[in-house]
Structure 1
Amino acid sequence: MNTELFAMILDYQTTSILILNANFQVEYMNPAAEELFSVSQQRAADDSISSLMGAENAQLLNRLHENFDDQGAWTEREHILKLTQDKEVTINCTVNQITLADQKKVLIEIIPLDRHLKIIKEGHVLKEHQATRTMLRGMAHEIKNPLGGLRGAAQLLEGELEDRELTEYTEIIIKEADRLHKLVDRMLGPNNVPNKAAHNIHEVLHHVYRVLSTKSNDKVNFRIDYDPSIPLLHFDRDMLVQAVLNIAGNALKAIEHQGDLIFKTRVLLRHTLNGTLYKMVACMSIIDSGPGVPDEIATKIFFPMVSGQTEGSGLGLAISQMLINQHGGLIEFDSIPGRTEFRVMLPIE
């Protein structure tokens, strides 16, 4: 194998890999490690591992120094690695002593467990959604047929009634049959193929912002935090507008028209969506300062008829997830009282 192939293999690893010299200075970081520590290899080169990890990870750093003379490998399992901006990640960290060109080196492999668990969870959620949608399609067939018969019978009865006052009741039957028919269609979600073209996701977010700003008051603090480096993406604009509008509309209701509503975009490197690893993923975040998602519905919030609002239909988020799934993307969220973030992620092809 040549050097170029080795470099390519390391670049595509989801495991963070670092190589240190005998002075514990960074000599190499693969892209996964750059993403984990939010620093490029060029900037981290010749810095000490202590500077990279910081004093917050003193326990791991002490063990690294204490075991430098040992020839064997060791592993720290389910260790809480503290990162910048008060972020933490659970990792398995394996350290090996290696020799390159007669010089002792330290090889560090870091596997973030949080992301792996999230990928497994995403897979289960997608399977559950597919099973639910299949079940709903079967139910829809059983519901729509009698509804059609009921509506047709009401129309025939209306034509036979001589007393015009009685037609009020047949009109109610027809309207309710139509309402239930539409509800079933909404539960099934969109069934049309996305009409994809090159669009700017910031134009979509700005459109949603303008729509919501007309419905809100001056007590809502709208903020934007965009990454201008995100290129044009290929998607169905109407579908994406609907997906984002459903999420942002829920956020506006959650803060009860008083609080912060933030539209944020970022590029995620080496991110997995629906079981596929992408080099880059565009992430659109809708962040609100509301009370958060209730724990009792957090695991099923993307299922039809599930809502944290008494007046909600419970269909908006389910439809949004279906729309984004049709683009190879995914919606996920994190929520605590005072800060809820929904992330709409689309692959950058």
Structure 2
Amino acid sequence: MTPVLTPALPPAAPGVARREALAGLDLLASAVLLVDADGTITFANAAAENLLESSLRALQRQQLHTLFLNAEELLNLCAQALAHKYSDLRQDLTLERSGRDPLHVHSIVSEAGESGIVIELRENVQQLKLDREERILDQSQVNKELVRNLAHEIKNPLGGIRGAAQLLELELPARHLTQLREYTQVIIKEADRLQTLVDRLLAPHRRPHIVGDVNIHEVCERVRSLILAEFPLGLSIRRDYDASIPEFRGDKEQLIQTVLNIAHNAAQALSERIVAGDAELVFKTRVARQVTLAKVRYGLALDLHIIDNGPGIPPQIRDRIFYPLVSGREGGSGLGLTLAQTFVQQHMGVIECESRPGFTDFRILLPLP
């Protein structure tokens, strides 16, 4: 990465000439701070305002040790730059902030003559991705334990409620049987509905993991035929396959269920476009190289995308779509994506999602041999 080259600036601050000289820094995509010898910020470009979630007016005259809780490393780099020990110093840093998420950045610090010190900060995308995956895995483990314990706690009383309703129905007097049987049937049917829900919650923990050779395109074709059978009109499914992807070891039925759950959710979200006749799903496969999944580095990984042109995931649930019982659809159980994530994690993979109106992309990454 090339360090920022600061133009020669007049020593007076702020001044019209200085502001004009600094205007070009606002065009940079990376965050740039100008800092004087004692660590006080004298200028921040537009990218820095965005990264630090603060205006130039609020940042100016603020010191680094008040902006970041652990500014010692950054201040040490500034001191070395002032001492002309290096032309520029580069380091990955995690900058802690009060009341806000820490910043994982790649920093470049260089001395800029009378302007003081130039600090360039770029978000460390790889570190952010690792942290996000770690949070997802931790949350998934918590969810699985919670769901499993809750399902077991519900299961036993449900059997008792259903049995009691059946016994009560047998004891009803004949003259009131028709009228009162309606109520006992409501209890029995609702108990059965809840039993089905509990069984679905426990399904991933009950079924053994059956491993065999898997061709991902056979999985996609099976799901494609099932979706088109349910939505024969108004929906097209486009295939964009990389035929070079090798077979891998996995549970084929679990992977079919995973892709089906995601594709079925997408098809239901496309209801308006199906009526209009322009609904589209895309199954896209590629090979990703040098991928880190669950803190393990793999040379090759399957990169499967399930893309739709629907309305997108509602913003209020976008960060919670893999949580159990969270659904953006009226009448949805909120279990489809939870089960999909569980199955993918059992294959040492991850599911990522990008969504905006007109475009939703579920990306499944699985290690390849």
Is residue 72 from structure 1 mapped to residue 72 from structure 2 by the alignment? no
Deviations 1:185-214 (A, max 9, x none): 223441122101002000000111111112
Is residue 142 from structure 1 mapped to residue 157 from structure 2 by the alignment? no
- The separation in 1 between residues aligned to 2:186 and 2:147, in whole angstroms, is 26
- The separation in 1 between residues aligned to 2:29 and 2:147, in whole angstroms, is 53
Deviations 1:312-346 (A, max 9, x none): 22111111111111111111111122111001121
- Structure 1 residues 112 and 197: alpha-carbon distance in aligned structure 2, compared to 1, 3 A threshold: farther
- The separation in 1 between residues aligned to 2:173 and 2:298, in whole angstroms, is 67
Identity of counterpart residues, as a percentage? 44
**Residue 304 of structure 1: CA displacement?**
0.9
Deviations 1:215-270 (A, max 9, x none): 22443232111111111111111111111001011111222223221000011111
Alignment check: 8 A CA contact 1:271 1:280 kept = yes
Within the candidate set 248, 252, 255, 1:233 is matched to: 248
Within the candidate set 308, 330, 347, 2:350 is matched to: 330
Matches within 5 A, 1:107-256: 113-163=124-174, 164-165=177-178, 166-191=180-205, 192-256=207-271
Aligned-residue Cα RMSD (Å) equals 3.1
- Structure 1 residues 127 and 154: alpha-carbon distance in aligned structure 2, compared to 1, 3 A threshold: same
Query: Which AA in structure 2 matches 1:167?
Result: R
Stretch moving more, 151-160 or 313-322: 151-160
Query: Which AA in structure 1 matches 2:209?
Result: P
- Structure 1 residues 58 and 344: alpha-carbon distance in aligned structure 2, compared to 1, 3 A threshold: closer
Alignment check: 8 A CA contact 1:208 1:244 kept = yes
- Structure 1 residues 130 and 206: alpha-carbon distance in aligned structure 2, compared to 1, 3 A threshold: same
Alignment check: 8 A CA contact 2:148 2:201 kept = no
Larger radius of gyration: 2
Residue 15 of structure 2 corresponds to none
Is residue 278 from structure 1 mapped to residue 298 from structure 2 by the alignment? yes
Query: Which AA in structure 2 matches 1:263?
Result: F
- The separation in 2 between residues aligned to 1:308 and 1:245, in whole angstroms, is 17
The TM-score normalised by the length of structure 2 is 0.64
Question: Secondary structure of the equivalent of 2:204?
Answer: coil
Residue 295 of structure 1 corresponds to 315
Deviations 1:15-45 (A, max 9, x none): xx9xxxxxxxxxxxxxxxxxxxxxxxxxxxx
Residue 345 of structure 1 corresponds to 365
**Residue 154 of structure 1: CA displacement?**
1.6
- The separation in 2 between residues aligned to 1:275 and 1:177, in whole angstroms, is 42
Residue 329 of structure 2 corresponds to 309
Query: Which AA in structure 2 matches 1:229?
Result: S
The TM-score normalised by the length of structure 1 is 0.68
Matches within 5 A, 1:3-14: none
Residue 92 of structure 1 corresponds to 106
**Residue 71 of structure 1: CA displacement?**
6.5
Deviations 1:161-181 (A, max 9, x none): 342424343233222111111
Where in structure 1 are there 5+ consecutive unaligned residues? 1-16, 18-55, 60-69, 79-89, 96-110
- The separation in 1 between residues aligned to 2:108 and 2:203, in whole angstroms, is 46
Count of matched residue positions in the alignment of Structure 1 and Structure 2: 263
**Residue 286 of structure 1: CA displacement?**
0.3
Where in structure 2 are there 5+ consecutive unaligned residues? 2-26, 31-84, 94-103, 110-121
Query: Which AA in structure 1 matches 2:299?
Result: K
